[in-house]
Amino acid sequence: MDILKFITAGSVDDGKSTLIGRLLYDSDSILADQLEALHSSNRKNDDGSIDLAILTDGLKAEREQGITIDVAYKYFQTDKRKFIIADTPGHIQYTRNMVTGASNANLAIILVDARKGVIEQTIRHSFLVALLGIQQVVVCINKMDMVDYSEEVYKSILKDYNALAAKVGLKNVHAIPVSALKGDNIVNTSANMDWYKGESLLHFLETVEITIDASTEHARLPVQWVIRPQTEELHDYRGYAGRVSSGSFKVNDKVTVLPSGFTSTITKIELLDKEPEEALAGMSVTVHLKDEIDISRGDLLVNSSYQPEVSQLIEADLCWMDTRALDTTHTYFIQHNSKVTRCKIQETLYKVNINTLEKEYNEDFKLNDIGRIIIKTADPLAFDRYQDNKANGGAILIDSRTNVTVGALMLRNVAD
């Protein structure tokens, strides 16, 4: 059994929380005491049925305001798969929360209200999903009950959506007409839409293929910690501990340490008392090398035949996440894998109006603004292009004054 992590993009008005509640409720993933709390709550739908959205509303502040402010993680499983949902708010002022939730997702559900069709926020959500490199997208055209389960309405919206997907660069798009409120096509296929011959949402989520980047070209292992017991019996023990972020390593692979450029050969891969022959993407292991070379936390081990870019001047997409605007005169920290170094913004190239996708040329990056910049780092970073390799292409900006994470960076290429 494997794990599918997905994000739901949409606003309260689209019935996003209801959709998640419905998935949990209809797949029997709600336990008795939670169900009791649900039934005893004062919040009900207009027709007196229980309000499933309560299941995903976590914080007091949110209950008071009736909106989802932060990212809430929900867990459920069927006999086919385990699921982790990142439930994020849809309003534009919470763009950073959506980016946060999207950063770890394998799939995105984009909700479209059947009465409204593709609107500004659909464009925004689709753009963000593409920017964060989520490979699979399910468009749920919701509230089909409000448009008499009309196939025409569905087809017309789908046509608009496919045009949008092409524009923002989304490739694997799958569409399902649903009513989260009534439960149509969520867990079971609906009798109300016999014109729809596809699967239910849950069935799709259970069977969609999750791919990992296991190519040796992308073999990357950020060193987090060097294990050196320095006891008498383990006097010469020196293990490099880290999680393979992409690709795979085997014993006898020739590896290069970046940014130093030293090379060696893997002699052993360890995980406590096991010694696997191969370390796959996602595995946390300890690696031993043939030669005693200087390696410390922040270094990157890569397959010597396929090396990433190493540079101090990097072009990147930026999502600004702080209430204080980006300050091009300030020195920030950049954290990339286990490496932290100082950096400055060399140049802001443009911003993107995420509702219209038009470029804007002003360098004033405020909360939730997205655009392209060039950064200059104190130490060189060994990185891959984010859209080719998310694991080694993402980085965060930290404000050295507040220590707060203020930006998400999707690294692109070495700047001229």
Count of residues that bind another protein according to CB under 8 A: 69
Length of the chain: 416
Site for another protein in 338-357 (CB under 8 A): 338
Residues with Cβ within 8 Å of residue 146, at least 6 apart in sequence: 114, 115, 179
Measured from the CB atom, the residue of 18 and 189 that comes closer to another protein is: 18
Peptide bond into 259 cis (omega under 30): yes
Query: Contact between 211 and another protein (CB under 8 A)?
Result: yes
User: Shortest distance, CB of residue 260 to another protein, whole angstroms?
Assistant: 18
Q: Pick one of 149, 333, 365, 383: the residue that binds another protein (CB under 8 A).
A: 333
What is the C-alpha separation between 109 and 341, in angstroms, rounded?
Answer: 35
| Using rule CB under 8 A, residue 207 touches another protein | no
| Closer residue to another protein in complex, CB, 185/392 | 392
Which member of 115, 225, 277, 356 binds another protein (CB under 8 A)? 225
Based on the shown chain and the rule CB under 8 A, indicate whether residue 209 belongs to the binding site for another protein: yes
Q: Which of 227, 254, 305, 331 binds another protein (CB under 8 A)?
A: 227
Q: Do 192 and 145 touch, CB atoms closer than 8 A?
A: yes
Least distance (Å) between residue 146 CB and another protein: 29
Please give the C-alpha separations between residue 115 and each of 14, 118, 125, 277, 289, in angstroms, as whole numbers: 10, 10, 18, 55, 61
Q: Which helix (H) or strand (E) holds 18?
A: helix 16-26
Q: Give the range of 1-9, 140-148, 165-173, 304-312 binding another protein by CB under 8 A.
A: 1-9
**184 DSSP assignment:** B
DSSP run (H or E) holding 121: helix 120-131
Choose, by CB under 8 A, the member of 38, 214, 357, 367 that binds another protein.
214
Residue type, 261: G
CA distance 367 to 23: 32
Residue 23 is inside which H or E element, if any? helix 16-26
- Binding residues for another protein, rule: CB under 8 A, are 1-3, 31-34, 37, 57-61, 69-75, 77, 82, 84, 96-97, 99-100, 103-104, 209-215, 224-225, 227-229, 234, 237, 241-243, 271-272, 280, 282-284, 297, 321, 333, 335-338, 390-391, 394-396, 398, 403-405, 408
